[in-house]
């Protein structure tokens, strides 16, 4: 019973919150009415940004969707964000339908432009769009960097840091090696 009450609270608070966001971002914010987004999920939109949410988006507590100035985020139907996921967009992030995110997944379509004469002080960014296809499963603690394109029906292994193009129907795992060294303390 508690589960149903919690789900209804998420739906009601999402409707109220998204209704307020819609008032201030009329043309730039689109959403389906039925969303299961935690009241503890942050949604931020800056001027001239666009956010489009498909039907039945689920986001657990601690998730953040941040669309910065001139950024665009499109999220397809039946997409689920686990605890602590964060999307930060200065250019464009497009997520297909039926995508599942594990906890603490981070998606960035930008990087600081440290090559400018003033360094990081001016907060300039280099950007490239991120695209995630349909029916993708992204494991826990994955970081997806700018310019990444993940095809349909892919699985991304937990803890991976990925950048680049990945074709349809692939498993993406970043291999790591554990090195154990024995020390001799009797020198």
- Average pLDDT over the chain reads 85
How much is the pLDDT for 15?
55
Residues 50-84 have pLDDT tens digits of: 998 899 888 888 999 999 989 999 999 999 999 99
Q: What is the pLDDT of residues 108-165, one digit of tens each?
A: 999 888 777 776 667 788 899 999 999 999 999 999 999 999 999 999 999 999 999 9
Higher pLDDT, 102 or 183: 102
- 112 annotated active-site: yes
Please name the residues in contact with 59: beta carbons below 8 A apart, sequence gap of 6 or more. 36, 37, 38, 41, 65, 80, 81, 85
pLDDT digits (tens, 9 = 90+) for 164-174: 999 999 999 98
43 confidence band (pLDDT: 50, 70, 90) = confident
| Catalytic pick among 39, 112, 161, 171 | 112
The mean pLDDT value for 27-53 works out to 79
The answer to whether 151 and 134 are in contact (CB under 8 A) is no
- Residue 57 contacts residue 76 (beta carbons within 8 Å): no
Alpha-carbon gap, residue 34 to 145, rounded angstroms: 30
3 state SS of 84: coil
- What is 2-172's CATH topology? UDP N-Acetylglucosamine Acyltransferase; domain 1 (2.160.10)
Residue 98 has pLDDT above 80, yes or no: yes
Q: How far apart are CA 30 and CA 69, in angstroms?
A: 17
Q: Answer whether 162's CB lies under 8 Å from 180's CB.
A: no
Is the model's pLDDT at 16 over the cut of 70? no
* Residue environment code for 18-34, b if the CB has 16+ CB neighbours within 10 A, otherwise e: beebeeebeebbebeee
């Amino acid at each position: 019973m508690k589960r149903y009450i919690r789900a209804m609270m998420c739906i009601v608070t999402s409707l109220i919150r998204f209704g307020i966001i819609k008032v201030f971002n009329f043309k730039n914010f689109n959403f389906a009415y039925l969303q299961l987004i935690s009241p503890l999920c942050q949604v931020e939109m800056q001027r001239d940004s666009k956010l489009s949410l498909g039907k039945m988006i689920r986001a657990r507590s601690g998730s953040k969707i941040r669309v910065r100035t001139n950024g665009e985020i499109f999220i397809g139907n039946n997409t689920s964000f686990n605890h602590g996921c964060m999307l930060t967009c200065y250019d464009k992030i497009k997520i297909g339908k039926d995508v599942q995110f594990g906890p603490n997944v981070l998606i960035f379509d930008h990087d600081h432009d440290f090559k400018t004469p003033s360094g990081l002080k001016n907060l300039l960014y280099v950007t490239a769009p991120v695209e995630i296809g349909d029916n993708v499963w992204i494991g826990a603690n994955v970081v997806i960097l700018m310019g990444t394109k993940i095809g349909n029906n892919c699985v991304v292994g937990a803890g991976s840091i990925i950048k680049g193009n990945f074709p349809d129907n692939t498993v993406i795992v970043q291999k790591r090696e554990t090195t154990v060294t024995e020390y001799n303390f009797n020198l």
